[in-house]
Amino acid sequence: MYNILLVEDDLDYGTVVKQYLEFSGFQVTWTPRAAEVNTLIIQQAFDLAILDIMLPVKDGFTLAKEIHQNHPQIPFLFLTAKNQNIDRLLGLKLGAADYISKTCDPEELKLRIDNILRYTQTKTYQTYQLGIFTFTPNLLRLEHTKKKYQLTERERDLLLLFIQHDRSILEREVILNQLWQSADYFSGRSLDVFVTRLRKYLSDDDAIQINSIRGVGFKVDLARQTPQS
């Protein structure tokens, strides 16, 4: 089931769109506030974002720039009442997969969404099988049959480093110099936070272990299978 993020501050219209898309088989997370978007993306893995432009505090164009910069793996489209050609051109220049008027027929909206997802989901990316998890670095995605996690770039890079040193000892200093370019106290505390996050994500599979070796680093066993592509 595809997971869609809907950002729309019109409560009546947002309700209609959410209900129609869910009736059409999508999972929809709806928020009227642009300020919540980054947190939601970190908490969940979204296949598509649908953005209104005329949002309070932060407009949809600004939000789109942030999504494109921080989460480039998530395609987005504009669903808006702003129908002037200059707005449409700006939206497409920002990287929108489509620019759709709110007067659009619901069935047409679904078809356009289907077309976008059909294109983005057929791209081939390298994946790693870690126990019950599938890890797709390009999409910053870690998932199994019941859960999907949208990783940050730092979480992705740390997990890749663990994969490179699977079933061996990985020194803290190596991690800090490669990912933080510093081995100072504050970088070390940050590393511990990210290791804790990865342990939490991977805790659904008891075969996966990230063990700390005091004063040295980490010994990992990711129950890894052959990389796929």
- Judge if 207 and 136 occupy the same domain: yes
- What distance in Å separates the CA atoms of residue 74 and residue 186, rounded to the nearest whole number? 31
Indicate whether 33 belongs to any domain.
yes
The set of residues, in sequence order, having a beta carbon less than 8 Å from that of 223 and lying 6+ positions away, is: 130, 131, 205, 207, 208
How many structural domains are present in the chain? 2
Residue 46 is inside which H or E element, if any? Answer: none
* Cα radius of gyration rounded to whole Å, the chain: 20
- Judge if 92 and 162 occupy the same domain: no
- Judge if 18 and 96 occupy the same domain: yes
Indicate whether 41 belongs to any domain.
yes
Per-residue pLDDT of the chain (229 residues; tens, 9 = 90+): 789 999 999 999 999 999 999 999 999 999 999 999 988 987 788 999 999 999 998 999 999 999 988 888 889 999 999 888 999 999 999 999 999 999 899 999 999 999 999 887 666 677 899 999 999 988 888 999 888 898 888 999 999 999 999 999 999 999 999 999 988 989 999 999 999 999 999 999 999 999 999 989 999 999 987 554 4
Q: What is the pTM of this model?
A: 0.62
Domain that holds residue 192: 128-221
For residues 8 and 14, the answer to whether their CB atoms sit within 8 Å is yes
Mapping DSSP to helix (H, G, I), strand (E, B) and coil, where does residue 101 land?
strand
- Judge if 13 and 54 occupy the same domain: yes
